[in-house]
Amino acid sequence: MEEEIVPNAQGELVKYFGKHVILDFFNCNRKAINNPKLVEKFMVKAVKLVGMKIINGPFTQFYTHPTDPGESGVTSVIVLAESHASFHGMERSGLVCMDLFSCKDFDAQALIDLFVKTFAPQSMHFTPLNRARDYGHEKHD
């Protein structure tokens, strides 16, 4: 598994285990994000685009919320050799919350570009995280 070495706020080089990208897309094409077959096709294409290996899934299903049908939507999860990818869509609002975590570096912009092309969000919020600081240097009891 690869580790990434990046400078922290003080300029010190810090090792991380992997990258976790959290993406919130707003006002997406509702017909598209509520189509399980399209979502599943997108998920497979997305993880392959960024060089990940699928070991299980995708598991994709339209979920009907029991008390608030507007909160219903498609959920899709893929288990990767490098970690996981998930997609959670909301029928009423057009919101999609997506994430990809990997021990291998990847091109987050390529993932975003594919999403925008497929689901046409009006706006988005991108949160990149480096996971497991100082991986490999922890003490074991």
Active site residues: 83, 88, 103
17: phi > 0 → left, psi -120 to 50 → alpha, else beta; which? alpha
In the chain, the DSSP E strands lie at 4-7, 13-16, 18-26, 54-63, 73-80, 83-89, 96-102, 123-131
Using DSSP, how many helices (H) and how many strands (E) does the chain show?
3, 8
Is residue 25 within 8 Å of 95, Cβ to Cβ?
yes
Structure tokens at 138: 């922890």
Helix (H, G, I), strand (E, B) or coil at 19: strand
